[in-house]
Amino acid sequence: MHWLRSNVDSLVYFGSRLLVACWIVSALAGLAQAKAFVLKDVGRGAVGAFNTCVPQSNGDQLCEDFIVEYFIVSPNNAMQGTAVFTHYKAFIHPDGTADEFVPELGFAGVTGSYDISHLTLASMSGITLYLNDVDPITGDLTPNGRMVTLGAFVWTAASDIYVFSNDGPFGIGLPRHVVYECVTQIYNSHERFTTAHVTGTINGISVAEYGPAYLPWPGTGPADALGAVTDVRIKFITAPHSGGC
């Protein structure tokens, strides 16, 4: 959700959070006319993050990240959820710079399962999604005419439960407490998750054919766990100072 988190092989930022970040940016832009802004976000479900890079004749690499997520609609009904697919693509040059394509996003309702108590398992049914280009500034979605077919996905926990705060993989990377001239900003993230082995297909290709994108997160493992079963809660508060600026 916050622009590119890059490593040597991967062009990653965690896709579904992009829209939340855009909401925050919009709120900050309107503070001169607004009262305190409070955003609470809960993300229960599972994510798999996969990467592939193909060498090009000019020395570049064409790298793609595929992020597959399942979010449950309600803690009282883990069998109904939303499938989210985010696709990032870029040419990575030998000097480490990159030319990025517009990210694309698709989502729709699916059935599935989710272990809300112990985060040991999650699954979702297969589905074909229509994709949208994502404006990285506004978060606006524009249908692009492309589709992706996801087979059934299963996440099986490969670790005990990890607990992170603002330094975890599923927030938006903001500092906990910042005081500016005109506004005070507070951001808190509480992230519980297990790393997970993932099975599934993207356009008929098994995710076992892909390498890691940004999971497992540093300090977690095992190395072949390219997914996570998650219970994430964030709270963002921004308030203008009295008297204005």
pLDDT in tens, 181-230: 788 888 888 899 999 999 999 999 999 999 999 999 999 999 999 999 99
Q: Give the per-residue pLDDT at 245.
A: 63
List phi, psi (to 5°) of 144.
-115, 5
pLDDT at 10: 30
Domain span including residue 111? 5-35+44-163+196-233
DSSP letter string, 87-105: EEEEEEPTTS-EEEPPPEE
Q: Which residue stretches of the chain have pLDDT < 70?
A: 1-34, 243-245
**Cβ atoms 116, 44 nearer than 8 A:** yes
pLDDT score recorded for residue 244: 59
How many distinct structural domains can be found in the chain? 1
In a domain, 30, yes or no: yes
In a domain, 50, yes or no: yes
At 189 the pLDDT is 85
pLDDT of residue 40: 74
Residue 227 in domain? yes
Whether 182 is in a domain gets the answer no
> How much is the pLDDT for 32?
46
Cβ-contact 133, 104 below 8 angstroms: yes
Q: Is residue 64 a part of any domain in this protein?
A: yes
Evaluate whether residue 170 is within a structural domain: no
